[in-house]
């Protein structure tokens, strides 16, 4: 019978049971709710990558839309046998299972084992069942060898596991489905990463690339990696400098709505972007933003400026902050919360970063920075951790909840963004703002997801520039 929903759960016994301690009819049941993480962990532990259980590449949604692997269900019996009945020291001898139904994420399961037979000298037979409500999903029989002596149950030291799921990449990609492909001038895509990235984005319906560079090199790279160029337009210009200039011209001609860096130095491209005559400069200083999808954090985290402005002045930081707020609005954050970082959360006249932070916060209060809430100085911990902010006694609508981190200088931002990428398994998109169109600065070290994420970010920002409205539905509440 399934476990009574109102029945108390079996508390862990102080000791495991030996063969003599166990009686026919002894029954233990536990409750377990299936989560998407269970399915991902099982895939890693078992090596079972059956697409029946996992989302396909680029599929929106989560593993919870797919049935849990049957053998994951079967593994739940070991939680009872190894912990409760007979308990620690038990060894499996055999297990028969019959799968009568499928479980999905969100299902509440009752896992039950009952002793049906004792076979001397040391084998215990148990019926093993899993129910979802009154429906039986799994029925079977286990044979185990209990411990020869009672063993005291202690606290096992099990390391924590973090599932590096980048749900925001998936969510923002889904928001782009309703938008037309963005015509994008790709400058000198003459190596693997700079060519395959735009082609992958084209296949995903994000961009329509115009390849501006050495045509022979572009075609050679495509052939070497079995990439199909099809009818993709190629403008044959061997010089990186001239290719960058032509890409900017394509924007002025109305043929391109964004510019993407290929296999050339960043300064060569930006030289033409920032030209006072014929460039793409707007009214603000150009700045860079990393958009980070961090598995530990519920919301997106934007880091600025980590790539262009080396030692920004207060005046520079006003534009850097405003650019980042605009991008956050484009990405569906209704009221972006901006934390201006320093080493401490109090104003110290000997630390210029704290003075700049306090000035930016006051300027936002007076409407000189608009569209978001700005507070600072904030240390990194109390900018993103409510617990840290509470410990410090900070009263702020930003502390512990920051969507945007404004760093004091390029070194700090670059270190922070790379630490999030390589130590916290974040996925990051890079984009240059403040020009008349988005400029994508992709890196050789970017994986396929990062390149796609940068294109997603640019498409959503370009749409916001055109319409003044975000194409992104509100993110799920925490």
In the chain, the number of structural domains is 2
Same domain, 246 and 101: no
pLDDT band (50, 70, 90) for residue 74 = very high
Tokens representing 287 are 């700045």
Same domain, 267 and 349: yes
CATH assignment at residue 78: 3.10.129.10
The SS3 call for residue 354 is helix
Which DSSP string do the residues of 55-72 spell out, in sequence order? PPTT--S-GGGSPPPHHH
Structural domain contains residue 457: yes
Same domain, 131 and 177: no
Tokens representing 406 are 């404004």
Same domain, 178 and 250: yes
Structural domain contains residue 6: no
In this predicted structure, the answer to whether residue 139 has a pLDDT above a threshold of 70 is yes
Average pLDDT over residues 200-209: 94
**Percent above pLDDT 70 for the chain:** 93
Instruction: Return the pLDDT at 451.
Output: 83
**Residue partners of 450: CB distance under 8 A and separation at least 6:** 427, 428, 429, 442, 443
Same domain, 323 and 456: yes
Instruction: Return the pLDDT at 477.
Output: 60
Instruction: Return the pLDDT at 4.
Output: 46
Burial 284-297, CB ≥16 within 10 A → b, else e: bbbbbbbbbbbeeb
Instruction: Return the pLDDT at 158.
Output: 74
Structural domain contains residue 64: yes
Instruction: Return the pLDDT at 13.
Output: 59
Nearest to residue 188, comparing CAs of 286, 257, 267, 265? 265
Report the chain's terminal Cα–Cα distance, integer Å.
37
Q: Which residue has the higher pLDDT, 295 or 433?
A: 433
* Beta-bridge partner residues of 375: 339
pLDDT band (50, 70, 90) for residue 259 = very high
Same domain, 356 and 303: yes
Average pLDDT over residues 147-171: 78
Instruction: Return the pLDDT at 63.
Output: 53
Nearest to residue 36, comparing CAs of 107, 89, 84? 107
Same domain, 128 and 205: no
In this predicted structure, the answer to whether residue 252 has a pLDDT above a threshold of 50 is yes
pTM, 2 dp: 0.75
Same domain, 271 and 353: yes
The SS3 call for residue 291 is strand
Same domain, 173 and 129: no
Average pLDDT over residues 87-112: 94
Which DSSP string do the residues of 248-273 spell out, in sequence order? HHHHHTTS-SEEEE-SS-HHHHHHHH
CATH assignment at residue 381: 3.40.718.10
pLDDT band (50, 70, 90) for residue 11 = low
Structural domain contains residue 11: no
Give the torsion sign (CA, 19, 21, 27, 33).
negative
Structural domain contains residue 473: no
Domain that holds residue 76: 27-145
Instruction: Return the pLDDT at 7.
Output: 44
Structural domain contains residue 119: yes
Across the chain, mean pLDDT equals: 90
With beta carbons less than 8 A apart as the criterion, state whether 375 and 366 touch: no
Q: Which residue has the higher pLDDT, 25 or 43?
A: 25
Structural domain contains residue 137: yes
Same domain, 448 and 333: yes
Average pLDDT over residues 207-222: 96
In this predicted structure, the answer to whether residue 197 has a pLDDT above a threshold of 50 is yes
From 145, 175, 196, the end of a domain falls on 145
Instruction: Return the pLDDT at 148.
Output: 92
Q: Which residue has the higher pLDDT, 179 or 170?
A: 179
Average pLDDT over residues 371-399: 93
From 111, 145, 179, the end of a domain falls on 145
Average pLDDT over residues 155-177: 79
Nearest to residue 27, comparing CAs of 91, 84, 75? 84
Instruction: Return the pLDDT at 143.
Output: 97
Same domain, 136 and 200: no
Same domain, 174 and 58: no
Structural domain contains residue 99: yes
d(CA 454, CA 442): 7
Count of residues making up the chain: 478
pLDDT band (50, 70, 90) for residue 426 = confident
435 — phi, psi (to 5°)?
A: -85, 175
With beta carbons less than 8 A apart as the criterion, state whether 87 and 18 touch: no
d(CA 82, CA 28): 12
Q: Tens digits of per-residue pLDDT, 302-329?
A: 999 999 999 999 999 999 999 999 999 9
pLDDT band (50, 70, 90) for residue 160 = confident
From 91, 112, 145, the end of a domain falls on 145
């Amino acid at each position: 019978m399934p476990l009574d929903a109102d029945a108390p759960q079996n508390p862990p016994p102080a000791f495991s049971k030996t063969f003599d301690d166990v009686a026919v009819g002894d029954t233990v049941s536990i409750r377990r709710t299936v989560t998407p993480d269970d399915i991902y962990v099982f895939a890693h532990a078992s090596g079972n990558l059956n697409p029946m259980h996992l989302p396909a590449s680029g599929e929106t949604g989560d593993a919870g839309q797919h049935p849990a692997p049957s053998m994951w269900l079967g593994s739940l019996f070991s939680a009872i046998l190894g912990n409760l009945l007979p308990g620690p020291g038990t060894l499996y001898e055999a297990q028969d299972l019959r799968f009568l139904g499928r479980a999905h994420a969100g299902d509440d399961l009752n896992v039950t084992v009952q002793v049906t037979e004792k076979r001397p000298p040391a084998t215990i037979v148990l019926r093993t069942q899993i129910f979802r409500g009154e429906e039986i999903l799994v029925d079977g029989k286990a044979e185990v060898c209990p411990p020869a002596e009672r063993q005291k149950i202690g606290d096992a030291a099990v390391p924590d596991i973090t599932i590096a799921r980048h749900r925001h990449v998936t969510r923002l990609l889904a928001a782009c489905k309703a938008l037309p492909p963005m015509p994008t001038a790709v400058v000198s895509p003459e190596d693997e990463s700079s060519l395959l990235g735009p082609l992958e984005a084209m296949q995903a319906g994000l961009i329509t690339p115009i390849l501006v560079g050495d045509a022979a090199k572009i075609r050679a790279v495509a052939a070497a990696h079995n990439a199909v160029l099809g009818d993709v337009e190629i403008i044959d210009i061997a010089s990186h400098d001239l290719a960058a200039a032509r890409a900017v011209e394509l924007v002025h001609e109305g043929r391109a709505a964004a510019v993407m860096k290929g296999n050339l130095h960043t300064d060569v491209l930006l030289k033409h972007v920032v030209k006072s005559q014929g460039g793409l400069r707007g009214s603000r200083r150009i700045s860079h933003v990393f958009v980070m999808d961090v598995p530990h954090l519920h919301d997106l985290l934007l880091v600025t400026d980590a790539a262009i402005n080396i030692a920004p002045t207060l005046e520079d930081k006003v534009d850097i902050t405003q650019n980042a707020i605009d991008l956050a609005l484009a990405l569906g954050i209704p009221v972006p919360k901006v934390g201006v970082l320093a080493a401490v959360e109090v104003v110290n006249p000997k630390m210029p970063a704290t003075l700049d932070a306090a000035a930016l916060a006051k300027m936002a209060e007076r409407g000189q920075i608009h569209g978001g809430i700005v507070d600072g100085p904030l240390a990194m911990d109390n900018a993103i951790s409510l617990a840290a902010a509470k410990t410090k006694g900070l009263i702020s609508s930003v502390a512990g909840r920051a969507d945007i981190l404004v760093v004091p200088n390029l070194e700090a931002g670059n270190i922070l963004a790379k630490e999030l990428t390589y130590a916290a398994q974040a996925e990051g998109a890079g984009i240059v703002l403040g020009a008349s169109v988005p400029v994508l600065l992709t890196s050789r070290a970017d994986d396929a997801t990062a390149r796609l994420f940068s294109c997603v970010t640019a498409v959503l920002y370009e749409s916001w520039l055109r319409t003044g409205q975000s194409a992104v539905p509100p993110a799920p509440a925490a």
